[in-house]
Structure 1
Amino acid sequence: MNRDQSPAMLRLAAASMAGTAIEFYDFFTYGTAAALVLGRLFFPTASPLMGTLAAFATFGIGFIARPLGSMLFGHIGDRLGRRPVLISSLLLTGAATVAVGLLPTYHDAGPAAPLLLVGLRFLQGLGLGGEWGGAMLITAEHAPAHRRALWSSFPQTGPTIGFLLANGIALALSVTLDRAQFLDWGWRVPFWVAGLLAVAGLLLRSRLEETPDFRALAAGEARASLPLAEVVRDHWRLVLLTAGALSFGYAVFYTVTTWSLAYGSEHLGVDRTVLLVCIMVAVTASGLATPLVALAADRLGRRPLCLAGCVAVALWMFPLVGLLHTGRPALMLLGFVVAMLAFVITFGVVGAYLPELYEARVRCTGAAVGYNLAGVLGGAVTPLVATAAARGDGTPWGVAVYLTGMALLSLGCFLLLPETRPAVAVRPAADPSPA
């Protein structure tokens, strides 16, 4: 049996995917709450617009913390191993998420409440900053070269599962509770659930083995003594290019999943349940497409698909905003689904592409910092920019201009990056064993 068909590889990829889903569930739970209730509960003295902006600002704090988490956990991953990163990052993110669900609101604690909220969101982002690098490397470094993109798509679908779980719980609460109940205690439930999920994730990850690449580094005493310093000195251009290349994907994802939820419910008067269903269908479509894109990347290469994703997003942003502004569920759904499929043409590939761009001794730090710095450029700023650009009663074309510009910026960065598909991916060696 080939290595990529072995039950051990399947168990490893599934455990990595489950852990990523749990960590991103924690992160997305906050995003949904920011769009629906946090402005009112933690910034009640502001106007509705300013309250929403303040809630999205705390949402952005998590993205700012993610590159710092990449530096911290990247050092652990490159010095001590990929496996310790998976355990420690999950513990930190899970604990911070549960704590958000226990926070007093502004009514109970005054100005201390939003300050505590900001601090916990920072810790949440810090933990997630280490998650992606650890989860991707534990899979990519175990996977055979000619199927690396496919196996790396498992943890890359984790965010989709985490998002659906977070929003599925929010949707169930929205349907079963009235608005007063949801504002009083219902919004806290998804944060409490994070504690149970974290325990399950720890049980899964405790059984994973260290990667062959790191074991080889440790055996040969080839580990970087200061991985971050080495990345800054020798790979700073690569980090900036990967951050710029991936920033458009964050912008599109959080426009669809976070900003449109707030815009549709507050400005267009669309029921939040309808919006959640439309968004969840679109995210599901992107999750189902991820392994198909990864298979194509193993055959055609990483860079061509990344370029195609940027072009597809650039062409769809004006139709997306126009369809959203109609307020008609069927048209909004069409806009969301096509946008998410365009997004995943690129993001279904990066689980293999980024690790291949960096040498093994600094891979955990370099790949994770580039990936999470893109989150600052595309994810932290986008809800704020989009909310400000959508002021007034007209169609928010400024949002489309911003997103199209982000896609073109990313296209330029990808054009400057090399192809990394291993030569073995073109024509795998024949199995010497008899049939």
Structure 2
Amino acid sequence: MTSPAGDRRSLHKAFAASLSGTALEWYDFAAYSVAAATIFGHLFFPSEDQLASTMAAFSTYAVGYLARPIGGFLFGRLGDVLGRKRILVMTLVLTGVATFLIGVLPTYETIGGFAAVLLVALRFAQGVGIGGEWGGAVLLSSEFGDPGKRGFWASAAQIGPPAGNLLANGVLAVLAALLTEDQFNSWGWRIAFLLSGALVGFGLWIRLKLEETPVFKQIQERGERSSAPISEVFRTERRALVAAVLIRVCPDVLYALFTVFVLTYVTTHTDLSRGAGLAAVMIGSAFQLILMPLFGALSDRVSRRKMYLFATIAAGIWPFVFFPMVSGGSFAMLAIGIVLALVIHAALYGPQAALVTEQFSPRLRYTGSSLAYTLAGVIGGAPAPLLFTALLAGFDTWLAIGAYLLATAVVTIIGVVLARDPDREEAAAMEPVR
């Protein structure tokens, strides 16, 4: 499907709106993730046991994932009933306001345990917003583009996480470099969260200027909107939902390991600093900005499922290479290891949006994709940092972490086997009349 009346400007606007919106929302999410791994433990969950503080902070990290299904159920349904654009404005505002409020939140030292309660509530709101964001952002760009190039156009939303992660890590790294440790821990970290106000304003400006997608307009014109998309997905597209959920599990765990937990690991089990870990993650994220659309485009030329299968196998193997690499405390080895891990993740995440969305029929695509994205997060991404921490503490070896990631790779391989290839006839039938 081409853009209406050959209007490639609309296609490019949709790509920019999808990328910028998800990047800004993932900036919010990534800022929290980095803070949870580094400073939130002693600010909101003080304890004489550093491990206990870190695990408590990672528990709030998991809350963001656990809240995603609510966003997926709520906004996914509305996206198939009301349209893509309107819902994406709502999700952006929700996530941005929650992040800004974290920046002004009193810590445990000021209001005691109530600080942790408020932090969890705001993290929950972040998760709800992100849960409704992804499915719509993917459709925003892919439904303006040619179905034969869905891998590339849908990758716009996939570039958002590394872009947001790079921006968040960069802001926190600069603040940590310019401020003393006491200043950073006292008030410097707040700046990263307060910046979200300006960033979300920019994202809203882009999205409010965009039209509804041609595919949703066609669904409206044909009177094919579902009145109960959630129940219809569970009733008629169960296999698609199971496949799409399992497809996402290993990439989520892989990303949590090499962008979140790795910051804890390098500071506790190597001679490297938190700054070294942040720098390595930033380098890897920078590579992903280029690799996401490249792998998405490649998946339009080769079998998307086969490409995903090989990348999943590589993901399951990589921890057994990475941890011995960094045992000597070399920053070069750390950077190479994280970069290659995120290259593998890009090979999965770049084509993932197209692979997930094409499992569902167009009239149920926002709901199905959102449910798959959020339910997979509960299984994979939500408990990952907490489980990594517990496994390392319990077994005192990285081998337990490697075995965990390998198990998730097996789960995702099952999802790839269950998944279907793109339905070209279905895509052609949804091409708008011009």
TM-score by length of 1: 0.94
Partner residue, 1:411:
413
Partner residue, 2:223:
221
**CA deviation vs aligned residue, 1:230-254 (integer Å, no higher than 9, x gap):** 1122223322221112110010111
**How far apart, in 2, do the equivalents of 1:323 and 1:173 lie?**
29
**How far apart, in 2, do the equivalents of 1:71 and 1:41 lie?**
33
Partner residue, 1:428:
none
| Contact 2:244–2:359 (Cα < 8 Å) also in 1 | no
1:18 partner letter: S
The farther-off stretch of 10-19 and 83-92 is 10-19
Partner residue, 2:238:
236
1:321 partner letter: F
Partner residue, 2:431:
none
By how many angstroms is 1:98 displaced?
0.5
By how many angstroms is 1:220 displaced?
2.1
Partner residue, 1:348:
350
**How far apart, in 2, do the equivalents of 1:89 and 1:252 lie?**
25
Partner residue, 1:37:
39
1:267 partner letter: H
**How far apart, in 2, do the equivalents of 1:292 and 1:45 lie?**
45
Classify 1:235/1:421 alpha carbon distance in 2 versus 1 (closer, same or farther; 3 Å): closer
Q: CA RMSD in A?
A: 1.8
SS at structure 1 position matched to 2:166: helix
Classify 1:226/1:421 alpha carbon distance in 2 versus 1 (closer, same or farther; 3 Å): closer
**CA deviation vs aligned residue, 1:216-240 (integer Å, no higher than 9, x gap):** 2222221111111111222233222
Which stretches of structure 1, 4 residues or more, deviate above 3 A after TM superposition? 2-5, 392-395, 421-425
1:38 partner letter: F
Classify 1:46/1:363 alpha carbon distance in 2 versus 1 (closer, same or farther; 3 Å): farther
| Contact 1:77–1:85 (Cα < 8 Å) also in 2 | yes
| Contact 2:173–2:275 (Cα < 8 Å) also in 1 | yes
- Is 1:157 matched up with 2:164? no
Q: Give the total of aligned pairs.
A: 424
Percent identity over paired residues: 37
1:282 partner letter: G
**How far apart, in 2, do the equivalents of 1:282 and 1:51 lie?**
28
By how many angstroms is 1:11 displaced?
2.2
**How far apart, in 2, do the equivalents of 1:318 and 1:236 lie?**
35
| Contact 1:322–1:395 (Cα < 8 Å) also in 2 | no
Partner residue, 2:370:
368
Partner residue, 1:302:
304
**How far apart, in 2, do the equivalents of 1:205 and 1:240 lie?**
31
TM-score by length of 2: 0.94
**How far apart, in 1, do the equivalents of 2:274 and 2:306 lie?**
37
**CA deviation vs aligned residue, 1:350-370 (integer Å, no higher than 9, x gap):** 221222111122110101110
Unaligned runs of 5+ in 1: 426-435
**CA deviation vs aligned residue, 1:112-151 (integer Å, no higher than 9, x gap):** 1101111100000000001101111111111112222111
**CA deviation vs aligned residue, 1:1-24 (integer Å, no higher than 9, x gap):** x75892331222012101110011
**How far apart, in 1, do the equivalents of 2:414 and 2:332 lie?**
34
Classify 1:211/1:317 alpha carbon distance in 2 versus 1 (closer, same or farther; 3 Å): same
- Is 1:398 matched up with 2:405? no
**How far apart, in 2, do the equivalents of 1:324 and 1:376 lie?**
29
**How far apart, in 2, do the equivalents of 1:390 and 1:205 lie?**
43
Partner residue, 1:313:
315
1:247 partner letter: V
**How far apart, in 1, do the equivalents of 2:325 and 2:426 lie?**
44
Which of 5, 13, 16 lines up with 1:14 in the alignment? Answer: 16
Classify 1:325/1:377 alpha carbon distance in 2 versus 1 (closer, same or farther; 3 Å): farther
| Contact 1:308–1:345 (Cα < 8 Å) also in 2 | no
